[in-house]
Structure 1
Amino acid sequence: MSSMNGKRITVAVLVAAGLLSPVPAGAQVRHEEPAGLRQALDATVAAGAPGILARIDDDRGTWIGTSGTADLDTRKPVPREARFRVASVTKSMVAATVLQLVQEGRLSLDEPIGDRLPGQIDGGDQITVRALLNHTGGLATYDNAAEFADPEQYGKRTYTPQRLIDEAERLPQPERGRFAYSNTGYILLGLLVEKVTGHKLSGELDRRIFRPAGMTRSYLPATWDGIRGPHATGYHLPTGADPGQPGALRPITRLNPSFAWAAYGVVSDARDLNRFYQALFSGRLVSQNLLTQMRTGVATPQAPIFPRYGLGLEAVGLTCGEMWGATGSIPGYETFSFADATGKRRMTLSVNVHRNDPAVARMLLAAVDALNRYFCGEPYKLPGGAAKSR
């Protein structure tokens, strides 16, 4: 998992059991509740999440569960069809769009970004498209700049992609060739898609990803600060605030998402994210050869929990092996969305808070436990001495 604004999140509780047969056209077949999943969702809330939503989709049906609340004032439950800002799960969608252009012969993974976007970034003649996709391009992430310290301030401003790139170039740059999570790289990839296609990124995502995958509740906003449809109130913990104090979590549902754009700006829901990874991993969006490259990952500092990052895809290391998908974190929301190798088994979790304090580790591990209980059928355990080291 990355520590940037562009990443992270958790899970939910309840609803279900009993297969319905026969099933009316368009009706959901209800999936039995996986053992221990309710406790994992409740543990996420107990660790500091206001509320959590979990959705499972596989050949046994659909299971949706929630725990906690959608709003700390009204205490309303989290909507079962809640929309949310998916944050860095956006990167999987942008990566799939780039790879479609590669598949069409309009791009090469190993061409320098400077060939298509001359002068857009220093050293662009030495940074390949592949390096941007897997965060080895040696680019600082712009959201580490002081400009982005307070989301209640920067969330009211409008940013151009070039302004975000300029902020990144003023920061110390990481070593090229090694993994260093960078939202800046995906801003460049968004510009690359627009340059090659001649169309807005939002339109290309809709045409190439959302519509083919049946993602009817998904969109990439430009500057509009709201969320369409049912949603939970999003919260954040200001830097230095004591999470144990009443009122420490501040609502931040409405914000101008121009700071996130191609890096972590998409709004969606759990159903659509599960549909996305089903379409991607079944080979409907990109070829199997390119999908293999997407899941060929470089080592990350988040091992063993999130050990590898590929081309817009992240691995989660569960007790029964690795699953691929992505995590996301943005002021207001955190997301986990993963699937098995075929895309037949999918699970998405959304929690309506973004926190960076040390205590958040318990919340995140509870979310990973929820994933593990579904995919592996047992509680999550950190491998070897990892628990002590963390």
Structure 2
Amino acid sequence: MSPWSGDRCGAHPEQCERTHVVRNSLDTAALDAAIENVHRAGMPGLFAEVRDGDRVWLGAAGVADVATGRPVTAGMRHRVGSITKTFTAAAVLQQVEAGRIGLDTPVGRYLPKLVPGERGDAITVRMLINHTSGLAEYLPYAYPSLKPFPALAETGPRSLDDHRFTRFDPTELIEMGVAAPAVGAPGGAPGVYSNTNYLLLGRLLEQVTGTTAEQYITRNVIERAGLRDTELPAGPYVDGPHSHLYEAWFGMIDPPRDYSVYDMSWVGPAASLLSTVADLNRFYGMLLAGEIVSPSSLAQMQRTGPVISQEGKMIHYGLGLHPMEGSGEGTFWGHGGTVWGGGALAMTRADGKRQMAVAVNLQRWNRLDSSGKPQPHPIDDALATLYHVAMYG
């Protein structure tokens, strides 16, 4: 996750409840306790789906609306942030398979006006997908109150309100990132995570397919996977049952403010996706089974290198996928994501049999200490425990 950055259970809660209490190899009691503990630690609401083969646990704890006490349910639609990147990466790899895009072709061959000159010749499509392009993040330039980032104490949330209904032009956002000082040499290690890369991939898809990235991804990734509750939204509203999304911005918004109504053009094909925990597990299960891209493309997606995340941590990152590993428990693949107020994490074991998708409705809950660094919060440990029980318990 970044600092920005069956039947739906909302319609049929009784079906969710039946699934919730089925006894199987999943430790449902431990999952029940773990998800409740995240809520007790301070998360207003969260929900999750865990799969082990054909066995399913669905859980939810807390509220979708702190004013009314309306509860969250496990079938709610949710803004899942940078999980979108896996969908966009898969779409690009489909076009690589079709011979319309070269993974190691310079992006300047396709988009010479957006990435001109020597940089366009040096930055390949692969470098965009795995964040080794050296292109800077555009967000601090699009959101003036975030300009001091990564000096969090000097940032402020004012721009979040200013841009709630702003319809950003992706070309202008890309130009901000390209014009900003480079954060590394093309292909250098470690890479630096940047949403600029994925806005460029959206324009690349448009260039080679003759349709918008959103339309292509919808038809060839979302619909191909049979996802009924997933979409790249055109407007600021979430259709169907959903939670409010509460942004705290490191304690600077107190009480946290609802940003569930928000125009997502600020991230587009980098982080705008709406989905459900069930759809996310279905998607990653099919991806890892070679049903969205070919097995050879999946192998490319799982080739990782070091990348500095937006939290400043070193992670391993492939082509729109990153791994999580437990000691002796096998590797999980997936992605995390955040938007203003909302977050999600979806991870699937390499053999596809164990899956986890978790959605939360509060972001940047860590207040800053005197040095400006986020302080530990009980939510951190509670979420880590939930993830561990979901994946390995």
Give the TM interval when normalised to the shorter protein.
Answer: 0.7 to 0.9
Which residue identity does 1:194 align to in structure 2?
A: E
Aligned to 1:206: 218
Matching residue of 1:155: 164
Q: Distance in 2 between matches of 1:236 and 1:159?
A: 21
In structure 2, the partner of 1:387 is none
Confirm or deny that 1:183 pairs with 2:183. no
CA distance in 2, matches of 1:125, 1:362: 47
Measured after TM superposition, the shift of residue 90 of structure 1 is 0.2
1:328 aligns with 2:337: yes
- Please tell me the residue identity of whatever aligns with 2:258: P
Is the 1:306–1:315 Cα contact (8 Å) retained in structure 2? no
Whichever residue aligns with residue 37 of structure 1, its letter is: L
Alignment check: 8 A CA contact 1:238 1:250 kept: no
Q: Where in structure 2 are the equivalents of 1:1-390 lying within 5 Å?
A: 1-3=1-3, 5-6=4-5, 16-18=20-22, 32-122=26-116, 123-145=119-141, 146-147=143-144, 149=146, 150-176=159-185, 177=188, 178-222=190-234, 224-238=235-249, 241=252, 247-301=254-308, 307-319=315-327, 320-355=329-364, 357=366, 358-359=374-375, 362-377=378-393
Identical amino acids, percent of aligned pairs:
34
Identify if the C-alpha distance between structure 1 residues 148 and 271 changes in structure 2 by more than 3 Å, giving closer, same or farther: farther
Q: Judge which range, 175-184 or 119-128, deviates more.
A: 119-128
Question: What CA distance in whole angstroms lies between the structure 1 residues aligned with 2:227 and 2:60?
Answer: 22
Which stretch of structure 1 is more off in the superposition, 86-95 or 340-349? Answer: 340-349
SS of match in other structure, 2:114: coil
Alpha-carbon deviation of 1:255? Answer: 0.6
Distance 1:240 1:364, change over 3 A: closer
Tell me, in whole angstroms, the C-alpha distance in 1 between the residues paired with 2:40 and 2:277.
22
Q: Distance in 2 between matches of 1:331 and 1:233?
A: 11
Conservation of the 8 A alpha-carbon contact between 2:249 and 2:363: no
Give the whole-Å Cα distance in 2 for the aligned partners of 1:256 and 1:360. 31
Tell me the SS of whatever aligns to 1:227. Answer: coil
Q: d(CA) in 2 for partners of 1:316 and 1:364?
A: 17
Note the C-alpha offset of 1:332.
Answer: 2.1
- Unaligned residue ranges in structure 1 (runs of 5+): 7-12, 20-29, 378-390
Does the 8 Å contact 2:74/2:277 carry over to 1? no
Could you tell me how far 1:361 is from its partner in structure 2? Answer: 5.5
SS in 1 for 2:165: coil
Q: Which residue identity does 1:214 align to in structure 2?
A: G
1:105: how far off?
A: 1.1
Deviations 1:46-105 (A, max 9, x none): 333211101113324221101111111111110221001110000000000000111111
Provide the secondary structure at the position in 2 that maps to 1:300. strand
**Distance change (3 Å), C-alpha of 1:173 and 1:35:** farther
The 2-side partners of 1:376 and 1:268 are apart by 24
Question: For the structure 1 residues 148 and 289, does the alpha-carbon distance in structure 2 shift closer, same or farther, using more than 3 Å as the test?
Answer: farther
Per-residue deviation, 1:167: 2.2
Normalised to the residue count of structure 2, the TM-score between the two structures is: 0.84
CA distance in 1, matches of 2:161, 2:227: 30
**Do the aligned partners of 2:248 and 2:341 also contact (CA within 8 Å) in 1?**
no
C-alpha displacement at 1:356, in angstroms? 6.0
How far the C-alpha of 1:278 sits from its partner, in A, is 1.0
Aligned-partner SS, 1:42: helix
RMSD: 2.4
Alignment CA distance shift 1:329-1:360 (3 Å): farther
- Please give the secondary structure, in 2, of the residue aligned with 1:225: coil
Give, as a single letter, the amino acid of the residue that structure 1 aligns with 2:34. A
Q: 1:299 Cα shift?
A: 1.9
What TM-score results when the alignment is normalised by the length of structure 1? 0.85
Is the contact made by 1:70 and 1:232 (CA closer than 8 Å) also made in structure 2? yes
Instruction: Tell me what 2:371 maps to.
Output: none
